Amino acid sequence: MPEPLAYLNGRISPVSQTFLPVWDLGVVMGASVTEMARTFRHECFRLREHIDRLYRSLKHVGFEIDLTREALIDLVNELLEHNSRLVPQHHDLGVSMFVTAGTSLVYTGFEGMATHKKPTVCVHTFPLPFELWAEKFTLGQHVITPSIRHLPPECLDPKIKARSRMHWYLADEQARLVDPKAIALLLDRQENVTETSTANFFIVQSGRIITATARNTLQGISQQVVKELAEQLDLRFEERDYQTYDVVNADEAFTSSTPYTILPVTRINQRPIGTGRVGPVYSELLKLWNHVAGLDIVAQMQTGAAERKAEFEARQ
């Protein structure tokens, strides 16, 4: 059976042959920066913007890689050309790109001194797991604010998209103790709302769309699309501090993230937001997102989820 291809340190090979050494600093210390893009109809969406953000992260942390931006774009498209043939035409792929700090000198010793600072570069794709999000388009998401707080920007600038994410893992585990399907929405040490582990968070209040500041959160590519769509709807878009009180009293809420675009949030800490159902502003934004994507996002998610589930059950 044909196998997806992946790129690791200058070599393209089947993904089953792509391994990261146990002494890589991405494993040893979680020292890595990352980006994730997705395709719509097998064309990568806003790839240039994802690549530009990755290179800004690389510059800040001091990882120097041999690939130029153009070369990385060409590499992603080369992998997509091959790997897209391995999924149904109406399904799509996620694209993961990450760069680690290289090899741990502790584990490799003098022998590795000359090369331990050379970063590891990896690009791979994966079929989008539609089943993770399909029902949330109609039921909405439940967010929980756990005791774990958002990492202060004084510790790590949130503009760096990094993979050092233990606090997010623990936060989501806390949220699932309340509701197995819930996700964590972190507050900062001043009780301001920030983001979830994979998404920017928004509330709608009196015709305004409000999200957290760039000082406190990673500014998302999908978040930028939301801002552009808000302008088309003549809605005011604000980046400012706000608290759980404002979420509870909001008209509606939603999240944005690369793999699923936008999803409604209907509950926070077991309490309804607005009517507790999908809101009208979210619905209008989703209609515009369909035009941007060139497809019916919900239909793709629901059909794809059913097909992937049937395929999984047939293999059992």
Q: Identity (one letter) of the amino acid at 41?
A: R
| Spatial distance between the Cα atoms of 316 and 313, rounded to a whole number of angstroms | 5
Note the CATH number of domain 5-128.
3.30.470.10
Helix 280-293 with 297-315: angle, nearest 10 deg? 80
- Structure confidence at residue 117 (pLDDT): 76
* Per-domain boundaries in the chain: 5-128, 136-300
Six-digit token pair at 15?
């993904």
Cα–Cα distances (Å) from 19 to 32, 64, 114, 204, in that order, read: 16, 21, 21, 44
Six-digit token pair at 126?
């994966």
Helix 47-61 with 69-83: angle, nearest 10 deg? 130
| Spatial distance between the Cα atoms of 216 and 153, rounded to a whole number of angstroms | 6
- Structure confidence at residue 106 (pLDDT): 87
Six-digit token pair at 292?
């941007």
- Structure confidence at residue 109 (pLDDT): 82
- Structure confidence at residue 112 (pLDDT): 65
- Structure confidence at residue 108 (pLDDT): 84
Q: In this structure, which CATH number among 3.40.50.720, 3.40.605.10, 3.20.10.10, 3.40.50.300 belongs to the domain 136-300? A: 3.20.10.10
- Structure confidence at residue 2 (pLDDT): 86
Taking the chain (316 residues) in consecutive chunks of 10 residues, what is each chunk's mean pLDDT?
93 96 93 97 98 97 96 98 97 98 86 75 98 97 98 92 93 98 97 98 97 95 98 97 98 98 98 98 98 98 97 89
φ, ψ for residue 217 (rounded to 5)?
A: -140, 160
Question: Given CA atoms 171, 225, 95, 62 in this order, what sign does their dihedral have?
Answer: negative
For residues 57 and 48, the answer to whether their CB atoms sit within 8 Å is no
Six-digit token pair at 245?
């009180």
Encode pLDDT of 292-309 as tens digits. Answer: 999 999 999 999 999 999
- Structure confidence at residue 278 (pLDDT): 98
Geometric angle at alpha carbon 205, from 255 and 177, rounded to 5°: 45
Cα–Cα nearest to 258, from 101, 37, 58: 37
